[in-house]
Structure 1
Amino acid sequence: MKKLFPGIVSASLFVGAAFAQPSPKPIYYAISFPNAVHHEAEIVMTVPQADGPLRLHMSRSSAGRYATHEFGKNIYNVKAYNVDGTPLTIKQTEGDVYEIAEHGDVVKVSYTLFANWTDGTYAAIDPSHAHLNMPAVFMWLVGADQRPLKFQFDDLDKYGWKVATQLKHEGANIYSAPNMQYMMDSPTELSAFKETSWDVTNVDGKKQKINLTIHSSDDQSTIDNFGKMVQKVVQEEKAVYGEFPTYDYGEYTFLDDVYPTNSGDGMEHRNSTCIVDESEKVAGNEIDLLSTFSHEYFHSWNVKRIRPKSLEPFNFDHANMSNELWFAEGFTQYYGELLLVRAGFHTPEEYTRILGGLVNSVLNTPGAAKYPATEMSRKAVYTDAGVAIDPTNYTNNFTTYYYYGGAIALALDLRLRSEFNLTLDDYMRAVWLARGKVMKPYTVPDLQNDLSKLTKNPKFAEEFFSKYIYGIEKNNYEQLLAKAGFVLRKAQPGKAWIGLSQSAGRNRSGQSRGVGEGLTISSATLMISPLYKAGIDAGDVIKKADGNIITDAASFTAVLANKKPGDKITVDYTNRTGAHTTTVIVEESPYLEVVTAEKAGSQPTAEQSTFRSNWLSSKVK
């Protein structure tokens, strides 16, 4: 022990006393389901060591979701008590904020939760399950971000439920989280789910456990067989990065809910993912389901550990705005589909449909033509399952960062392979080692720097980011895809196109218009379309086309059947300013498709075949 100087003894004793203070006791939540048939839960939050005025909050955003949501609307009957049951005055100061000015050392807060939306953002309760996304369920204490938390899930035996979660199991029906951020990132499924598990061995020799839990009507053999398919995807993803992440408590859990009335979704979390599917069951839909599994599991590296600085820490008061979602989500989108080919679940021929979608997203959408990937990333605060009752113009000013970023990833992968004898796998591995493995959040310039180091070509990295990330220039996809023996061509050459995309005319109340009432344009017309150029937009009602009565989209399409690009169609329509006549000049569809050289009528060269194989073949050794 170092000897203390007399002049600082008293100060040192004070510091020692401060360090000797006991750790804060956990905040405790108990959740029960006496009225599950009507989608309600009863929640009691116990706050020990309650000090000063308490401010309690329901979240307005959710881990993995980038838009703002109002979870506070679904709680009611909010009450507060001292530990002896004495009622306390609790004041609602905002829609999702409650304050308790005076109280004892231990405070209990109770409330009713209504939950009837099964997806990755909200919560759902019925006698079959409690599907819990934590920000949509649990109130939290402002200023207590680092306090440990415990959860008691009641009524499990009553409904025959088990618990699937990344929370730490403390025993019986008690689970814990080290702090609020971890709790919010821990979706929980209470149901009679079926489960299959397997061990994976990391490069350091340590084993970890992967759990697949599925709440569906399938039998156990179906779940076991699907688990084997998921295992193949898991191994392909590990091959990209060279190693698995280190999962907290040594486990990673897929939480899957499959039912026709669900709202399809996938939501990544640090040690788990919440996947919701609208199918009747897993059996017969395995390949479709795998797409979401592949995407979400890739996130356990990219976004949950390779973490944008703009998402740190995650703000549950309001959505974080990020410039990096083209990478966090877009590159994940690219790999989510690519790895299904490498794992043998899609053929290169089947993969051409995915490639065509990526290319069209950047070459044939007004948003990508006008705005860079960074700006489209920032739009997530409005577009990522954001709720709006007023019409938007996203048709013409937004291209999803999922596909925008996916197309950038495609181009970068092909360019690294053809120009540097490198791959996008090499780049992802470099970013993982520099950022994700050491949990060092990144910015867009960091990603450029990592590309510069990998290629040993700062000029290439600077040009790529300047043109395609910060700028709106586009890569030459025709040339790049040709290197792998794929052909990029017009999808409908010579066919008439006017940009009509809706399936039926509806009035403002959502009811179908009667026969002869016309075709209502229900949303903004696409800026690149002949309809837009002719001055037709949302709210207009098309009555006739070339003298033919129009009743719905099919009757308008019938008029186009004998037209060709350059032809003119006289269109009679009405809107609030009266009756009008305009001329729509038919064009050729700008949309592209990707096909194999074989389908296009030629054979790929040996070089093209090798390139394709190196790109799309399995990397599992």
Structure 2
Amino acid sequence: MKTSLAGLIVLLSISMTAKSQVKIGFEVNFTEPQAHYVEMEMNISGLTKDYVDVKMPVWAPGSYLVREFAKNVEGFSATANDKPVKFEKVRKNAWRIYSAKAKNIKIKYRVYAFEVSVRTSFVDESHAFLSSTGIFIYPDGMLNLPSTVKVNPFKGWEKVSTGLEPVSGKPFTYTASNFDLLFDSPIEVGNQDVFEFTASGVKHEVAMYGGGNYDKEKLQVDMAKVVEQGTAIYGENPNKHYTFIVHNRSVGGGGLEHLNSTVLGASRDKYADPKGYKDFLNLVAHEYYHLWNVKRLRPVALGPFDYDNENYTTNLWVAEGFTSYYENKLTHRAGFFTVDETAQALATAIANVVNTPGAKVQSAAEASYDAWIKAYRPNENSNNATISYYSKGEVVGMLMDIEIAHATKGAKSLDDVMKSMYHEYYKKLGRGYTDAEFKAMVEKISGISFTDFWARYVNGTDAIEYKKYFGYAGISVVDENEGKIIPYLGVASKKVEGDIIVSAVSRNSAAWDGGLNVNDQIVTVDGVPVEVAIEKMPVVTSKNVGDVITVTIRRDGLVRDIKLTLKANPNVKLITTVNENPSEGEKAVRNRWLLGKKG
């Protein structure tokens, strides 16, 4: 037994020593950016095997869909000691290079980059955005090895923005301590507008591509406020530096979090609009809050990452949904929204869930697990069969937050849960948490059982008791549609080349029961030609619930009549009113919930 153990230790030691001698470096070039290509060179030295497998991830952490990044790779070649060597594709994202224990291997390949999003790479004559999981490859079994990256900007490009650590004395050269860090560090190359601010003791760089009517001085102040509110919850900011890469386009949106950086999509002309500006700050708050929630405090399934396959978890309602919820708290505490505005925004978020038929079909936990096959692949029936873990998680977070504040008479809130989880599982144990462990922490902080809450709102699809929860904080909620009997077809439509085409049908609506289909062309309603959205036609709005209308459609080139019996509109429209004279108990809950303080 002792001999076997000693032998194992020796083998492990030899293996670790061999890996430590492996050196990996990348060089990034752009010879045809106008054609949307990146030229990659990878140099590996110190290998001792007869062959090495190199792989490209199939997905990007934070975006739960297998995107098959290797589909954009072409022109793959390999040399060993400067001589061409045999290689072959051994799986969809892996190449085997027969190096015959050569000391030095050089791999070259090109990546086509022409997909505009925060999670995919895009290159043109004006700039390059490199989303690292779709750009860099790694030697199989060596994710823990460090690497260097040298970026050679195209002629006329002068700047590189990234969260990677720069190598002193070597321009545009960076280092990553392992491939997880490299894959978590996007790179912007070009002539982006760069400005900085310091908040919570951390230098923040903002790299703006695409122009826009933003006010740099205002952004420096307001983005710093968001940073400081997030840091206040956790008691520390774990970064030495942080990078915002912002892509300003005619219409933009979305973001993707990284360990010490983020990529944001924004509309270049909306900064001067009060609503557009606040929407941008909400996006900043969402992605920055991920610095703690997901990038460090994470579900156990989300790390170490398996870059070859899906990484399933039932806890995206915490990872993403709570982050959506906390963007409201951070921007409220930073002074950008009043109590009334924040309460109304949260009520609207609840209404969006209530008005989604799929919320009665799919739970928050199920939505999380099925993200890989449903969330990023919606179809015409998704609204009827699924719910977003973002939107349902936001609502669950709010309910849980108020429930904790109410149970502790304003002494604790969800802030205390998140901070305790961060210190217990990220800092102390160095691992992710399970659903049961998260629930246990909620119960520890609140002092009450959350078994029924979990059954109803996390694993179940029960109706949301929004009046009760808002009431704990002295906020009343009314449904403006309550008591109104409004005729409703339950159909959405779009105009295509002058024709009105059905784009969605709501479950259990008149259109659903009567058999209207997506892609049906609506020709007439009770003989009246259709030129606008069918729900807005006077021939529909002037009717009563129970009336029958005749809808003439064209389906697959054939004309037919469909009889529809109008039903009442089931959707809610929630309006909040904040009590200016709350009871002491309501005031305590409200202050702990929204402001994070007692009294």
With the length of structure 1 as denominator, give the TM-score of the two structures: 0.86
Quick check: 1:127–1:159 contact (8 Å CA) kept in 2?
Answer: no
1:538 maps to what in 2? 518
Q: Which region of structure 1 is more displaced relative to structure 2, 210-219 or 394-403?
A: 210-219
2:462 maps to what in 1? 473
- Which residue of the other structure, out of 260, 267, 270, is the alignment partner of 2:256? 267
1:487 matched to 2:467? The reply is no
Q: Deviations over 1:522-580 (max 9, x none)?
A: 34x11142211222122333322122122442586332231243333222334349554
1:526 matched to 2:506? The reply is yes
2:370 maps to what in 1? 379
- TM-aligned CA distance change 1:576 to 1:289, over 3 Å: same
- TM-aligned CA distance change 1:52 to 1:558, over 3 Å: farther
- TM-aligned CA distance change 1:513 to 1:93, over 3 Å: farther
Distance 1:217 1:97 in 2: 39
- Which residue of the other structure, out of 230, 251, 256, is the alignment partner of 1:237? 230
1:196 matched to 2:189? The reply is no
- 2:493 aligned counterpart, secondary structure: coil
1:593 matched to 2:580? The reply is no
Report the residue type matching 1:433 in the other structure. Answer: H
Distance 2:351 2:162 in 1: 39
Distance 1:532 1:80 in 2: 58
Distance 1:57 1:382 in 2: 23
Report the residue type matching 1:213 in the other structure. Answer: A
- Which residue of the other structure, out of 199, 202, 208, is the alignment partner of 1:208? 202
- TM-aligned CA distance change 1:29 to 1:21, over 3 Å: closer
- Which residue of the other structure, out of 83, 93, 117, is the alignment partner of 2:115? 117
- TM-aligned CA distance change 1:93 to 1:489, over 3 Å: same
- TM-aligned CA distance change 1:429 to 1:565, over 3 Å: farther
Quick check: 1:129–1:161 contact (8 Å CA) kept in 2?
Answer: no
Quick check: 1:214–1:223 contact (8 Å CA) kept in 2?
Answer: no
- Which residue of the other structure, out of 589, 594, 599, is the alignment partner of 1:616? 594
Quick check: 1:58–1:139 contact (8 Å CA) kept in 2?
Answer: yes
Quick check: 2:485–2:568 contact (8 Å CA) kept in 1?
Answer: yes
- TM-aligned CA distance change 1:419 to 1:562, over 3 Å: same
2:87 maps to what in 1? 90
2:179 maps to what in 1? 180
Distance 1:59 1:381 in 2: 15
Quick check: 2:488–2:535 contact (8 Å CA) kept in 1?
Answer: no
Distance 2:479 2:413 in 1: 25
1:463 matched to 2:452? The reply is yes
Distance 2:560 2:408 in 1: 58
Quick check: 1:33–1:154 contact (8 Å CA) kept in 2?
Answer: yes
Distance 1:12 1:137 in 2: 36
**Structure 1 residue 489: deviation in Å?**
0.7
**Structure 1 residue 479: deviation in Å?**
2.0
**Structure 1 residue 112: deviation in Å?**
1.6
1:509 maps to what in 2? none
Report the residue type matching 1:165 in the other structure. Answer: T
Distance 2:490 2:95 in 1: 50
**Structure 1 residue 144: deviation in Å?**
1.8
> 1:427-576 residue pairs with structure 2 within 5 A?
427-438=417-428, 439-457=430-448, 460-483=449-472, 484-491=474-481, 493-504=484-495, 506=496, 512-513=497-498, 519-523=500-504, 525-553=505-533, 557-576=537-556
2:219 maps to what in 1? 226
**Structure 1 residue 16: deviation in Å?**
8.0
Quick check: 1:118–1:131 contact (8 Å CA) kept in 2?
Answer: no
Distance 1:610 1:20 in 2: 59
- 2:551 aligned counterpart, secondary structure: strand
- TM-aligned CA distance change 1:428 to 1:541, over 3 Å: same
Distance 1:14 1:578 in 2: 73
- 2:390 aligned counterpart, secondary structure: helix
**Which runs of 5 or more residues in structure 1 are unaligned?**
202-206, 507-511
Report the residue type matching 2:468 in the other structure. Answer: Q
With the length of structure 2 as denominator, give the TM-score of the two structures: 0.89
Distance 1:191 1:609 in 2: 51
Q: Deviations over 1:401-438 (max 9, x none)?
A: 00011111111122222232232222222222222333
Quick check: 2:158–2:190 contact (8 Å CA) kept in 1?
Answer: yes
1:34 matched to 2:15? The reply is no
Quick check: 1:134–1:184 contact (8 Å CA) kept in 2?
Answer: yes
Distance 1:260 1:10 in 2: 63
Quick check: 2:487–2:541 contact (8 Å CA) kept in 1?
Answer: yes
Distance 1:23 1:258 in 2: 42
- TM-aligned CA distance change 1:17 to 1:446, over 3 Å: closer
2:161 maps to what in 1? 164
The alignment of Structure 1 onto Structure 2 pairs a total of residues equal to 585
- 2:460 aligned counterpart, secondary structure: coil
Distance 1:98 1:22 in 2: 19
- 2:523 aligned counterpart, secondary structure: strand
Quick check: 1:56–1:98 contact (8 Å CA) kept in 2?
Answer: yes
1:303 matched to 2:294? The reply is yes
- TM-aligned CA distance change 1:478 to 1:541, over 3 Å: same
1:417 maps to what in 2? 405
- TM-aligned CA distance change 1:529 to 1:10, over 3 Å: closer
Give me the CA root mean square deviation: 3.1
1:367 matched to 2:358? The reply is yes
Quick check: 1:61–1:315 contact (8 Å CA) kept in 2?
Answer: no
1:252 maps to what in 2? 242
Q: Which region of structure 1 is more displaced relative to structure 2, 38-47 or 473-482?
A: 473-482
- 2:284 aligned counterpart, secondary structure: helix
1:52 maps to what in 2? 50
